[in-house]
Structure 1
Amino acid sequence: MTEPRIGVVGIPGKWSTEALADAVEAKTGFRLVIDMGRVTLDLASGALLHDGIDLCQLDGLIIKKISEIYSPHVLDRLEMLRFAEARGVKIFSRPESVLRLIDRLACTVSLAAAEVPMPATRITEDRDAALQAAREFGAAVFKPLYSTKARGMTLIDGDDPTAPDRIAAFAAEHPVMYIQQKMDLSGQDLGIVFLGGAYVCTYARVKQGDTWNTTIHSGGKYAPFEPDDALIELARRAQAPFGLDFTTVDVALTQIGPIVFEVSAFGGFRGVKEGCGLDAAAMLVEHVLARVSA
Structure 2
Amino acid sequence: MRIAVVDYKKEPRKGSLELLDSISRHGHEAVYLKTPMLDATVSRSGVKVYYSTEEVRVDAAILRGLGFITSLEALVKRIGVLEALASLIPVVNDPSRSLVARDKWRCLLHLHLKGLPVPETLVTENPFTAMRYVREKQLVVYKPLMGSLGLGSTLIHDPDLAFNVTRGLMNIGQPSYYQVFLDKPGYDYRVFVVGGRVIGAMKRVNPYSWKTNVAQGAGGVAVKESEEPEVYELGLKAVEALGLDYAGVDVAYDKATGGYYILEVNAFPQWEGLRSATGVNPPDHIVEYVVEKARK
Which amino acid letter does the alignment assign opposite residue 281 of structure 2?
D
Partner of 2:106, secondary structure, is: helix
Pick closer, same or farther for the CA change 1:175–1:267 going to 2, 3 Å: closer
Pick closer, same or farther for the CA change 1:68–1:18 going to 2, 3 Å: farther
Aligned counterparts of 1:249 and 1:215: Cα–Cα separation in 2: 12
Structure 1 equivalent of residue 211 of structure 2? 213
Structure 2 equivalent of residue 9 of structure 1? 6
Aligned residues of 2:214 and 2:273 also touching (Cα < 8 A): no
Partner of 2:233, secondary structure, is: helix
Pick closer, same or farther for the CA change 1:207–1:243 going to 2, 3 Å: same
Which amino acid letter does the alignment assign opposite residue 220 of structure 2?
Y
Residue pairs, 1:217-232, within 5 angstroms: 217-226=215-224, 227-232=227-232
Residue pairs, 1:1-294, within 5 angstroms: 4-10=1-7, 11=9, 12-43=11-42, 46-55=47-56, 57-67=57-67, 73-86=74-87, 88-158=88-158, 162-173=161-172, 175-207=174-206, 209=208, 211-226=209-224, 227-255=227-255, 256=257, 257-294=259-296
Which amino acid letter does the alignment assign opposite residue 228 of structure 2?
D
Pick closer, same or farther for the CA change 1:166–1:100 going to 2, 3 Å: closer
Aligned counterparts of 1:70 and 1:261: Cα–Cα separation in 2: 26
So what's the TM-score if we normalise by structure 1? Answer: 0.88
Aligned residues of 1:247 and 1:267 also touching (Cα < 8 A): yes
Which amino acid letter does the alignment assign opposite residue 132 of structure 1?
R
Q: Percent identity?
A: 23
Aligned counterparts of 2:206 and 2:69: Cα–Cα separation in 1: 23
| Unpaired runs of at least 5, structure 1 | none
Shift of 1:85: 1.9
Shift of 1:16: 0.8
Aligned residues of 2:144 and 2:176 also touching (Cα < 8 A): yes
Partner of 2:29, secondary structure, is: coil
Aligned counterparts of 1:102 and 1:75: Cα–Cα separation in 2: 14
Partner of 2:183, secondary structure, is: coil
So what's the TM-score if we normalise by structure 2? Answer: 0.87
Aligned counterparts of 1:91 and 1:218: Cα–Cα separation in 2: 31
Pick closer, same or farther for the CA change 1:75–1:185 going to 2, 3 Å: farther
Which amino acid letter does the alignment assign opposite residue 137 of structure 1?
K
Shift of 1:74: 4.2
The number of residue pairs the alignment matches comes to 287
Shift of 1:52: 4.5
| Unpaired runs of at least 5, structure 2 | none
Which amino acid letter does the alignment assign opposite residue 290 of structure 2?
V
Partner of 2:151, secondary structure, is: coil
Pick closer, same or farther for the CA change 1:136–1:168 going to 2, 3 Å: same
